[in-house]
Structure 1
Amino acid sequence: MSGMKAVLVGLGNFGSGWYKRLRRHAGVQAVCVVEANAQLRETIDPETPFYSSLEDAIISERPDFVINVTPPHIHTAINEIAFAHGLPVLCEKPISNDIKDAQYIVGQAERKHIPFMISENYRFFAPVLKAKELLDSGVIGKMSSVHIEFDRYHVVPVPYFGRLANGLLEDVTIHHFDMIRYFTGQEAVKVFAKNSNPPGSWTESTTIHLTAWMELDGGTVVDYHGNMMAKGKQTEWYGDWRFEGAEGAISITSNRVKLMRDGMPDEVYTFEGVGDLLSLDEFLAALKQQREPKPSGRDYLKSQSLVHAAAVSSRKGITLTVEEALREA
């Protein structure tokens, strides 16, 4: 895909990485940048067009698509400007911190038939892609349960994290909840969750420990443990997973994907021929093929709704459905 011009909005914590990614991607011919902080212009090549206004950048540069890497509370304003000009958007998660706002933006994209994708990079890691391939092959039979552990000791310096009601759930676990839907192809029927802070937590303004349980519409039961204050084992960012089925089990642990079946030795898989992909690869491929990108805003809204349900469950101390939780919004 040659000749595509991107406008990158945001040069903050993740923006610099996106800038480098866009500059070296074969499908992107040119990049311009929008950033309110003029001092950050010094962090990019001087020949790159730089603007403080997305509106001005669109009018002057006539880009083909927008990469929205602004803080979550600014996502909606940027997405609306892009949609007003009919431009496809690849937006960092979440769609918005507010579930009603997220519903509104997804509705806008759909009504205007504008491609809108969320950059859910955890779906594109090589071990995740390999485990998905095995699960889809049916090698473990009907899935009965999923067990997930996420353990890191990680102090988050980004200001918006501390302003979240439940930092771990909203900023990190959203990846894992999206992966549950991606791996299983099922949606949650019932959810129970408990947000808390472990003793000695490095934050008092938000929560960084989560226990959750959910029942999926295919009958699969999921249990989740997440902790950003872990002093013991440290998992990968996408966590450790175990899928139990009628005919076997699959695990993902420390970049190893393993298949276990009765009477057969464990099979450990490498990722030759798989490899990490980028959400940008999927976005550009979808634009070229004129199809819906994965995950689209519409699909990702279901992952955010599951996060919202977990937050409501924790606050009320009850098990509920996603629909019941959305009525609380």
Structure 2
Amino acid sequence: MVKAIQVGLGHWGFSWTKEVIPNVPTVEMVGYVDSNPEALARVQAELGIAESKCFLSLDAALQAVEPDLAICTLRTEAHYPVVKQCLELGLNVIVEKPFASTIAQAKELVALARERGRVLMVSQNYRFQPAPIAAAELVGAGKFGPVNLVSIDFRRHAPSQGYRYWDMPDPLLADMSIHHFDLMRMVLGDEPKRVSCRTWNPVGSPFNFHPIGVATLEFEKGTIVSYRGSWMSSGPVTPWAGEWTMDCSEGEIIWSSRDHFMGVAGPDRLALRERDQALVPTDLAPIELADRRGTLGAIAKVIETGTVPARFSSGADNLHSLALVQATILSASRGGDWVEIAEIMQ
């Protein structure tokens, strides 16, 4: 068992406390931290968390308990200082995405984790679903040869679907597309080279910043990704991971993932089409711990065994996904000019 504390019990943090952490049997919770007494009172009243396990500060918690892992589920701007403090105190850390606000901050955290010999993981939960795992394995095995073109569509109508972050800067690229960017890297087993992106805010939108965007991404092995995302779409709703068509030399891999919407859930889907043949649906192997439970279970296993599995979203790995976010935002600010990933990483 890995002993853990959770830092951050707000809206999303409470979801972790209620829905994720209790369903990962290898994690034993020894403390909960939030500077807001009302947040602590809520987990005690609604989830039955013992008052003795609740603390108003990380320092107070570590005077009372000895955790191996900090589960950091705070607002984005608090990620860097809290993760830094946790690493300096000798804790392993799993943190929600994006794990820092800038590449410089992210690099500092990665270096600190390496220096202290601790595991730093970013909870890229979309990696822990059957369809993207299967797609990554098919690409890695060269099922249909090299991947030439990938087309991805993400469509949601935020005003009618309970979205509430109207003031968030870059609500598409920073809040949503980071999932899709990270999946591109994982599924292709490749790194991005440069990007071009345009974003906009349509008439009548409640967003203060751009909720729609299109991007072209060029990867090191030559694959081009055409990406289209919208929080203001009137078209058919896509699964959260989007709809993917991967055009390879000898056929297509077509898939979607995280297909749940307003109380209705469906399975991941993947189908294969050899060139000039019919589309053939493929059975997907179930995974033991999916989604956020998968990320938490993965870091617990790394802490227990010292072995880092394939497709593990370490801080060092996630630098490249964060760089894609920063690059697309910069490209959009330049009117769609190409931005080299090397420029961002520097």
TM-score tier, shorter chain, comes to over 0.9
Pair 108,42 (structure 1): closer, same or farther in 2 beyond 3 Å: same
> Aligned AA for 1:75?
H
Question: Counterparts of 1:101 and 1:262 in 2: how far apart (Å)?
Answer: 46
Residue 237 of structure 2 is aligned to residue 224 of structure 1: no
> Aligned AA for 1:262?
R
Equivalent position SS for 2:158: coil
1:14 is matched with 12
Moved more, 133-142 or 236-245: 133-142
1:259 is matched with 272
Question: Counterparts of 1:195 and 1:103 in 2: how far apart (Å)?
Answer: 27
Cα deviations by residue, 1:155-187 (Å, 9 ceiling, x for unpaired): 5324xx7242x1210111011111111011111
Q: Identify which of 301, 309, 315 aligns with 2:327.
A: 309
Question: Counterparts of 1:296 and 1:32 in 2: how far apart (Å)?
Answer: 24
Residue 39 of structure 2 is aligned to residue 40 of structure 1: yes
2:343 is matched with 324
Equivalent position SS for 2:307: coil
1:244 is matched with 247
- Normalised to the residue count of structure 2, the TM-score between the two structures is 0.88
> Aligned AA for 2:343?
E
**Conserved in 1, the CA contact under 8 Å of 2:33 and 2:40?**
no
2:55 is matched with 51
Question: Counterparts of 2:329 and 2:228 in 1: how far apart (Å)?
Answer: 15
**Conserved in 2, the CA contact under 8 Å of 1:23 and 1:31?**
no
Cα deviations by residue, 1:211-260 (Å, 9 ceiling, x for unpaired): 10011110101110000011111101110001111111101145321100
2:298 is matched with 282
Pair 136,326 (structure 1): closer, same or farther in 2 beyond 3 Å: closer
> Aligned AA for 1:201?
S
Question: Counterparts of 2:339 and 2:15 in 1: how far apart (Å)?
Answer: 39
- Normalised to the residue count of structure 1, the TM-score between the two structures is 0.92
Question: Counterparts of 2:321 and 2:338 in 1: how far apart (Å)?
Answer: 18
**Conserved in 2, the CA contact under 8 Å of 1:126 and 1:276?**
no
> Aligned AA for 1:311?
I
Question: RMSD of aligned C-alpha atoms?
Answer: 1.8
Q: Offset at 1:106?
A: 1.6
Q: Identify which of 102, 106, 117 aligns with 2:121.
A: 117
Alignment of 1:64-83 (within 5 A): 64-83=68-87
> Aligned AA for 1:302?
H
**Conserved in 2, the CA contact under 8 Å of 1:211 and 1:226?**
yes
Q: Give ranges in structure 1 of 5+ residues lacking alignment.
A: none
> Aligned AA for 2:305?
Q
Question: Counterparts of 1:282 and 1:186 in 2: how far apart (Å)?
Answer: 22
Q: Give ranges in structure 2 of 5+ residues lacking alignment.
A: 260-267
2:264 is matched with none
Equivalent position SS for 1:169: coil
2:173 is matched with 169
> Aligned AA for 2:68?
D
Question: Counterparts of 2:49 and 2:24 in 1: how far apart (Å)?
Answer: 19
1:157 is matched with 164
2:27 is matched with 28
Question: Counterparts of 1:31 and 1:228 in 2: how far apart (Å)?
Answer: 39
Question: Counterparts of 2:215 and 2:254 in 1: how far apart (Å)?
Answer: 19
Corresponding pairs, count: 321
> Aligned AA for 1:309?
A
> Aligned AA for 2:334?
K
* 4+ residue segments displaced more than 3 Å: 272-276
> Aligned AA for 1:210?
G
**Conserved in 2, the CA contact under 8 Å of 1:129 and 1:274?**
no
Question: Counterparts of 2:285 and 2:193 in 1: how far apart (Å)?
Answer: 36
Q: Offset at 1:42?
A: 3.0
2:107 is matched with 103
Q: Offset at 1:70?
A: 0.6
Moved more, 107-116 or 222-231: 107-116
Pair 46,220 (structure 1): closer, same or farther in 2 beyond 3 Å: closer
1:268 is matched with 281
Equivalent position SS for 2:217: strand
**Conserved in 1, the CA contact under 8 Å of 2:140 and 2:189?**
no
